[in-house]
Amino acid sequence: MRKFATALLSLSALLFVLYSGFPGKTKAQMPDSNAKRTPVLVELFTSEGCSSCPPADLLLQRLLAQQPVEGAEVIAFEAHVDYWNSLGWADPYSSPRWTERQTEYASTFGNDPYTPELVVDGRSNFVGSNAREAHDEIGKAARQPKAEITITPQTTAGNASPSFGVTVAKLAGSNSSERPEVWLAITEDGLRSSVSRGENSGRTLTHAATLRSLQKIGSADANAAVSYSGVSQVKLDSRWKTENLHVIVFVQGNKSRQILGAASIPLKG
């Protein structure tokens, strides 16, 4: 009876930890949602043709939905690479541009591109399904100084493409030898695919924050009190569901690839 009671208590404790979605983090320990958080940009390089990618896709969904890291506001996107497309299944959300972005990171980190790969704030990379490492690296990134970014929707007439005012406050932690770049991304939630071929044949895959567009909108002045200010227009595809779209703006070093600030708002507030 004593062994049974001990086993039951152990099972209960295990289920409680699993319920939280992250190793060692119980529901009672979840961070206060009202506390001030530092934005951290998390990029997942993934593919629907990769059998080891779905767990990483689900991890990214949990990071966004649960915001489990104390002091961190997770801002994220899934970048679907295209180098799996010739192996049985052409990922409908893939782009050679996202492959190029991953290749640039690979050059910085000194590794070959692979899936699934998580890149946290341009500072660290690791296997995209590793929840414990994701938790640790996001926590480290949240302790780095970040520039405050404000995104303001602009009034547009008729069917004109939406425009957004972007202001970036004084940069902190910028390397004087590089030119900080300001980027604007559009992501879409709620996408799914019924995969009929390739390594994930027969599976229905779900996605959050799928990268739809990414454009450089300017450069930031590391010495100015307001390092960047401007208005950018965004061209939307009629196939995208506007109610599921988010606008992300981030500042990134052009050499170090480190993220110096990030912000996100729904396309339609």
At residue 158, the pLDDT reads: 65
The mean-pLDDT minimum among 32-36, 88-92, 236-240 falls in 32-36
For 64, phi then psi, to 5°, come to -75, -45
CATH number for domain 36-266, candidates 3.10.20.30, 3.40.190.10, 2.60.40.10, 2.50.20.10: 2.60.40.10
pLDDT digits (tens, 9 = 90+) for 110-159: 999 999 999 999 999 999 999 999 999 999 999 999 999 999 999 876 66
At residue 21, the pLDDT reads: 52
Q: Are 62 and 76 in contact (CB under 8 A)?
A: no
pLDDT digits (tens, 9 = 90+) for 158-213: 667 899 999 999 998 777 778 899 999 999 999 999 999 999 999 999 999 999 99
Q: Kindly state the tokens that stand for 259.
A: 């993220």
pLDDT digits (tens, 9 = 90+) for 55-98: 999 999 999 999 999 999 999 999 999 999 999 999 999 999 99
pLDDT band of residue 30 (cuts 50, 70, 90) is: very low
C-alpha span between 74 and 13 (Å, rounded)? 27
At residue 269, the pLDDT reads: 61
Q: Is the pLDDT of residue 8 over 50?
A: no
At residue 11, the pLDDT reads: 39
Question: Domain locations in the chain?
Answer: 36-266
Q: Is the pLDDT of residue 43 over 90?
A: yes
- 20 against 96, higher pLDDT: 96
| Number of other CB atoms surrounding residue 241 within 10 Å | 11
